[in-house]
């Protein structure tokens, strides 16, 4: 019988992520260079960056401190990371 940890490692869920065009191109170039999938590259980037990202204040922390939220990023130039080709 699989342990809960084994199940979590093999649990794959499809999720659409959107990246600015230039960022996706950079990820694609690196994936090609390493002969890896886009998903693998993004997963490794998350593993390396998550400690740093956890240090960012939450939206609630910023509101409690009386600061305003940063301007929202426009996703007009974003592309679907599930596709291997940028949208035209």
Average pLDDT rounded to a whole number, residues 7-18: 78
Report if residue 70 sits inside a domain: no
The structure tokens listed for 88 are: 């035209």
- Expressed as residue numbers, the domain containing 43 is 19-56+76-88
Report if residue 81 sits inside a domain: yes
Report if residue 12 sits inside a domain: no
At residue 63's C-alpha, the angle toward residues 60 and 67, to 5°, is 140
Report if residue 14 sits inside a domain: no
The HSE-up count of residue 37 (CA atoms within 13 Å, CB side) is 6
Report if residue 43 sits inside a domain: yes
Report if residue 29 sits inside a domain: yes
Report if residue 9 sits inside a domain: no
Q: CA-to-CA distance for 19 and 1, rounded, in angstroms?
A: 39
Each residue's pLDDT tens digit, 21-72: 999 999 999 999 999 999 999 999 999 999 999 999 998 886 666 555 555 4
**Number of domains composing the chain:** 1
Report if residue 10 sits inside a domain: no
């Amino acid at each position: 019988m699989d342990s809960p940890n084994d199940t979590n490692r093999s649990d794959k869920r499809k999720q659409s992520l959107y990246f600015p065009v230039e960022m996706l191109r950079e990820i694609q170039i690196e994936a090609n260079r390493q002969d890896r999938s886009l998903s693998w590259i993004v997963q490794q980037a998350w593993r390396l960056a998550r400690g740093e990202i956890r240090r960012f204040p939450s939206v609630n922390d910023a509101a409690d401190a009386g600061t305003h939220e940063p301007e929202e990023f426009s996703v007009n130039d974003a592309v679907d990371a599930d596709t291997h080709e940028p949208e035209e």
